[in-house]
Amino acid sequence: MCEQCHPALAEPTPEAPRHRARLWEIDNQWHCTIIGTSLSLGELKGVATRFKVQMRSARPGAYEIHTSMIHLASRERQVGKALTKLLDRKHAVAINRAKPLAGEDALTLWWEDALTRGDVASACWAVMSHPDTTDSLRNRVFGDIHMLSHQVGAAARADLRSIHQLEREKADLEAKVARQQDRLKGEIGRRNTEIRELRQLLDQEAAESRRLAHAADSAREMDRLHRALGEVHHLLEVETAFRQVAEDEARRLQAQARDRDAENERLQRDVRDMRDELAASESRLAATLAPAAEAGDGLGECDEDCARLDLCGRCILFVGGRNQHLPHFRRLVEEAGGTFTHHDGGFEESMGRLHSLFGRADAVLFPVDSVSHGAHDEVKRLCRRWEKPFVPVRRSGLGAFIRALSTVAEQ
């Protein structure tokens, strides 16, 4: 665990805000616990890529990405906002459940229940950001997660032993299946040889029967041949049934081997996940005992398209979308020299108001992933009627909105 998360090395905590705390409003001594527990490495990589965070190495490892994002969370407001937004969206259910709780005692009981159920990641952020959470409770959450990392390491070692045992059982089973298949192939070959010999005998008997057709004892010979033929047919039926049973057994053993393979792969995935959690916990502990060197990370600058975006006073009408994005969209439009109006696509606002907004709109944008089909059809119809540019936004996120604004600016 890194030095920022250890209470003994952190600066004094400022007075907690009464609203639910953002990440940068929480003392940086808790950032390691929050980011390492409530966000995955893939999500941290996504944020680092989005903001073009410069790492010290060309191919940074998990620990370098982890410490870099902790470093930037309290120093770069854009990164802090992005991480807070990601945490809120990912753990929205737990946040809503903790919202009505009041006082440290109620939050402590709720945290203990979440810890018992194994819902640590979501409960960690919900408790850490709650307005009634105290430093004492945050220290309790830190301690519980720290001890949990030790338990995860022990469980990972036990699972490794189980995997090794399963691999040995798999090898034994595969050897058994191979021996069984070899035996079945040999048995089938022997039976096929017997069948060919019996068929040859049958042909010979049939020829002899024709030769003796006019002989005095042809009737007795024919009776014998008929009995021999019946025995051959019976033997063929028995051998065919035996072969079918053997093939069924081989298929069953093969299916059992495939099931073992699938179970082995599942356990290996579990072990990899536990290794990742253990590695993160050990990294935080190692950083506490031996503080890491200061990181020289930075944010990438806005690209050329973003820098020259100019709406030239256009009025942008945005239909649908998520409410938490609207302030950011409005700021982007206004900074680009435009004006921003919004309609929720008929969820709460009437469609009659949408008609009135079209008169002063210069371009109409809507996110295709968060607007109803009825609103989509109505927007297209009104755009054709008012001869307004119609710009669908691929997602309701900020990047897709900026690309759509670039399209409007180029028109």
- The count of C-alpha atoms lying within 13 angstroms of the C-alpha of 166, restricted to the half-sphere facing its C-beta, is 19
pLDDT at 291: 46
Full DSSP string of 315-376: EEEEES--GGGHHHHHHHHHHTT-EEEEE-TTSSS-HHHHHHHGGG-SEEEEETTSS-HHHH
Six-digit token pair at 122?
């979501």
| pLDDT of amino acid 173 | 85
pLDDT for the residue 216: 67
Note whether 365 and 393 are within 8 A (CB). yes
Side-chain half-sphere of 314: how many Cα atoms within 13 Å? 23
Question: What 3-state class would DSSP assign to 91?
Answer: coil
Q: Look at residue 391 and give its three-state secondary structure.
A: strand
Per-residue pLDDT at 151: 67
Q: What is the pLDDT of residues 171-229, one digit of tens each?
A: 788 888 888 888 888 888 888 988 988 888 888 888 877 777 677 677 788 788 888 88
pTM of the model: 0.35
Q: Is 252 exposed, middle or buried (0-12, 13-18, 19+ CB in 10 A)?
A: exposed
**pLDDT on residue 363:** 92
In the predicted model, residues of the chain with pLDDT beneath 50 are 4-5, 7-17, 270, 273-274, 276-307
Q: What is the pLDDT of residue 1?
A: 52
State the Cα–Cα distance between residues 219 and 370, nearest whole angstrom.
91
- The reported pLDDT for the residue numbered 284 is 33
